[in-house]
Structure 1
Amino acid sequence: MDVLSDVITVARTGRPRSAYVRWHAPWGQQFASVPGSVAFQMVLEGSCWILSQHSAPVRLGAGDVLFLPHGSGHTLADGPATAVTAPACPPDDPELPESYATDTVDRFGQGGPATVMLCGAYQIDPSRTHPLLLTLPDLIHLRADPSRHHELNAAVELLASEMRHPRPGTSATVPALLDTLLMYILRRWLAEQPGRGSTTGWAAALNDPAVTAALHAVHRDPAAPWTVAELAAEAGLSRAAFARRFSSLIGRPPLGYLTWWRMTTAARLLRETGAPLRSIAPQVGYTSEFAFATAFKRTHGVAPGAYRRMS
């Protein structure tokens, strides 16, 4: 596994949801904030506007992608002056908004020009959210660029086709395409960020070949008895230089990140499998069930067995 793949697979809980929605002008919709979710909306046809009390309206055109990595509330409308309806769900509703239910629907308006949008959302387990997602801004607007990002465009078209014309296998295809789409959104955003030396954080880390090599080693084999010196060798740096660079970009020291990733992986195994603790322990670098259980409780605040029952 590589880091970006793990960002997507480790935190998602339940099935993703999606909707193919045709909004008929005039329309305006406020989407409630849904903590513990990741959402995105893509304009397939027509246009709309992002409305905010704190900034000027922003137009979205066909092919634009709106990515909300923290489930932040937002408002869309066919025009800057259109009246906006109530949120799609109450702010304290733990479920994803109605308009993200897997469906194909027509909504609102009086027969005016249509805006066709593809919406998707994931529920995220906050205890397993990768720090890369935590550092993303509340709203990311990726403008259409037909001459580039062909993979992202293709994923959008495939997902839209499945939503427009459900066929045998669509229920299995849509979640896989949503995973693929989220991967391409993250890839594009990361590729557009400043390179090494101009910023800190995960965007810089994944543009830094040395730190990325060490991260991939940890994600490839979290059970290995890694030392800082061994990770530095993977990075091609001296021990001291590697430790400084890794800590500066990632926000925690190399072995601190290793422990966090081991415990995050263990939480996923406890939640998604029935494997006994004696089987999980060596998969995350512990030679005994007792040592694993102690480390897990220190990180998550509960014993592994209790965590599994709560999940």
Structure 2
Amino acid sequence: MDVLSEVLAVHRTGRPRSMLLGWNPPWAEQFAAPPGAMGFQAVLRDGCWLLPPAGRPVALNTGDIVFRPHGRPHALATSLDATPDPCTPAPGPAPRGSGTQLLCGAYELGTGQAHPLLRRLPECIMVTPATELRSVTALLAAELRDPGPGTGAVVPALLETMFAYLLRERLTGRHGPLVDPAVATALEALHGDPGRAWTVAQLAALAGVSRAAFARRFTARAGRPPLAYLTWWRMTLAARRLRGSADTVAAVAHAAGYANEFAFTTAFRRHHGVPPGRYRRSDAVFGDVHVGVDGHQERQVGDGEMPAQQ
């Protein structure tokens, strides 16, 4: 079971967006928080300073990427004493000949609860990317500079790939949940068969560690205890299925691992605040993922509901 692909598929909404920006020095720009999105800026040419909302400034070189996992505001500037102006990019062709060029992107997410694997990330993360991410960045920048037939399909696909690489680095980096084999094994099992009446003892045995050690490691890496994570994942999948299919509430309840509709409705209402039928009819979109990376030369700036059993 590919946990990363499932996370992206469940919480994605809308279309990713990207554009090129450029300025001649001196310049200083304040980037607002994109609502319901995580974003990045990749430095394509010339360096600048990252001025985070809290913490010390960070020097950015050509090739570096500023990743905003929570979409928080920040500023970029050519000098530390500059006063940033709000960044208001004008529509039109990509800039050419500017002293500094940035590739910007945003990945639209659903509103709601942050994914437990990713919610503890810092406000801004600076990454010097690996070869694969550099290649995607170059392809995306080239497509935006010289659009051609199919650009409308190519750009979203490249942005999907870029965010997948960033998320992969976070999940498999030195502090990521998937770097711990016991946690990775349990996550794959929970995602592969969420309807099963899992116990902590079963998951610990599958992971090959003691129950106490497994519970401690899983909670530290995944952001919540194993059975609380299972409940969260069941409710995430159920919400998606209610919106994306014509299945009855009883069928959704059974797929989520609940023996009857009443138990499922109680758990769903407790989790989402509304019963399944009302959720299906409402305009709310579930699932807010915040992601970041623990990549090459990265520098960071800067409970347990039990699932209903059958």
Structure 1 position 280 matched with structure 2 position 252: yes
Counterpart amino acid of residue 236 in structure 1 = G
1:297 corresponds, among 250, 262, 269, to 269
- Residue correspondences, number: 283
Q: Is this contact kept in 2: 1:7–1:133, CA < 8 A?
A: no
Q: Is this contact kept in 2: 1:296–1:302, CA < 8 A?
A: yes
Counterpart amino acid of residue 2 in structure 1 = D
2:119 corresponds, among 134, 146, 161, to 134
Alignment TM-score, normalising by the size of structure 1: 0.80
In 1, the alpha carbon distance for the partners of 2:268 and 2:124 equals 33
- Report the Cα offset of residue 210 of structure 1: 0.6
1:199-210 paired onto structure 2 within 5 Å: 203=176, 205-210=177-182
Q: Is this contact kept in 1: 2:173–2:179, CA < 8 A?
A: no
Describe the SS at the equivalent of 2:162.
Answer: helix
- Report the Cα offset of residue 190 of structure 1: 5.0
Shift in alpha-carbon separation, 1:168–1:276, aligned structure 2, 3 A: farther
Shift in alpha-carbon separation, 1:44–1:264, aligned structure 2, 3 A: same
Structure 1 position 105 matched with structure 2 position 86: no
Counterpart amino acid of residue 125 in structure 2 = I
In 2, the alpha carbon distance for the partners of 1:252 and 1:53 equals 28
Q: Give me the identity figure in percent.
A: 51
Shift in alpha-carbon separation, 1:273–1:26, aligned structure 2, 3 A: farther
- Gaps of at least 5 residues in structure 1 are 89-97, 195-202
In 2, the alpha carbon distance for the partners of 1:268 and 1:242 equals 29
- Report the Cα offset of residue 82 of structure 1: 4.0
Q: In the TM superposition, what whole-angstrom CA distance separates every residue of 1:224-257 from its partner, at most 9, and x where no partner exists?
A: 2322232122211233432333234434321111
Q: Which residue of 1 aligns with 2:102?
A: 117
Q: In the TM superposition, what whole-angstrom CA distance separates every residue of 1:117-152 from its partner, at most 9, and x where no partner exists?
A: 1111123224243122211100000125xxxx2211
Q: In the TM superposition, what whole-angstrom CA distance separates every residue of 1:77-128 from its partner, at most 9, and x where no partner exists?
A: 233344421354xxxxxxxxx67x8x75339xxx7x5212111112322424
Q: Which residue of 2 aligns with 1:187?
A: 168
Structure 1 position 23 matched with structure 2 position 12: no
Describe the SS at the equivalent of 2:71.
Answer: coil
- Report the Cα offset of residue 215 of structure 1: 0.8
Structure 1 position 214 matched with structure 2 position 203: no
- Report the Cα offset of residue 261 of structure 1: 0.7
In 2, the alpha carbon distance for the partners of 1:2 and 1:193 equals 19
Q: Which residue of 2 aligns with 1:233?
A: 205
Shift in alpha-carbon separation, 1:163–1:281, aligned structure 2, 3 A: farther
In 1, the alpha carbon distance for the partners of 2:118 and 2:172 equals 15
- Report the Cα offset of residue 259 of structure 1: 0.7
For the aligned residues, what is the CA RMSD?
Answer: 2.6
- Gaps of at least 5 residues in structure 2 are 284-310
Counterpart amino acid of residue 164 in structure 1 = R
Q: Which residue of 1 aligns with 2:241?
A: 269
Alignment TM-score, normalising by the size of structure 2: 0.80
Counterpart amino acid of residue 110 in structure 2 = D
